[in-house]
Structure 1
Amino acid sequence: MLSLLQNEIQLRICEESIPRILHCLDLLSDEEVWFKPNQNCNTVGNLILHLNGNCRQWLLFNLLEIKFQRKRQDEFESRTYSKKDLIEILEGLRSDISANCHRVTEKDLGLEFEIQGINTTGLGIVVHVIEHFSYHTGQIALLTKLIKNQDLGFYGDNTKLDCQ
Structure 2
Amino acid sequence: METKDINLLFQRDLDRLKKEVEAYQMEEDLWVIVPGTSNSGGNLTLHLLGNLRAFIGSDMGKTPYQRDREREFGAKNIPRIELLEEIDLVKGIMDRSLTNLNPQELEKISPHRFFGYEMTQGYFLVHLYGHFNYHLGQINYHRRMINS
TM-score of the superposition, structure 1-length normalised? 0.79
Q: Which residue of 1 aligns with 2:28?
A: 31
Structure 1, unaligned runs of 5 or more: 150-164
CA distance, structure 2, for counterparts of residue 18 and residue 70 of structure 1: 19
Report the alpha carbon displacement of residue 45 of structure 1 after superposing the two structures with TM. 0.6
1:60 aligns with 2:71: no
CA distance, structure 2, for counterparts of residue 121 and residue 58 of structure 1: 13
CA distance, structure 2, for counterparts of residue 112 and residue 99 of structure 1: 21
Report the alpha carbon displacement of residue 145 of structure 1 after superposing the two structures with TM. 1.3
CA RMSD across the alignment? 1.9
CA distance, structure 2, for counterparts of residue 116 and residue 31 of structure 1: 37
CA distance, structure 1, for counterparts of residue 41 and residue 113 of structure 2: 23
Q: Which residue of 1 aligns with 2:136?
A: 137
CA distance, structure 1, for counterparts of residue 97 and residue 88 of structure 2: 14
Report the alpha carbon displacement of residue 80 of structure 1 after superposing the two structures with TM. 4.0
1:115 aligns with 2:78: no
Residues 109-140 of structure 1 show CA distances to partners (whole Å, capped at 9, x for unaligned) of: 12223337664321122112211111111111
Aligned length: 145
1:22 aligns with 2:21: no
TM-score of the superposition, structure 2-length normalised? 0.87
The structure with more strand, counted as a fraction of residues: 1
SS in 1 for 2:119: strand
Structure 2, unaligned runs of 5 or more: none
Identity of aligned residues (%): 24
CA distance, structure 2, for counterparts of residue 116 and residue 147 of structure 1: 36
CA distance, structure 1, for counterparts of residue 15 and residue 125 of structure 2: 19
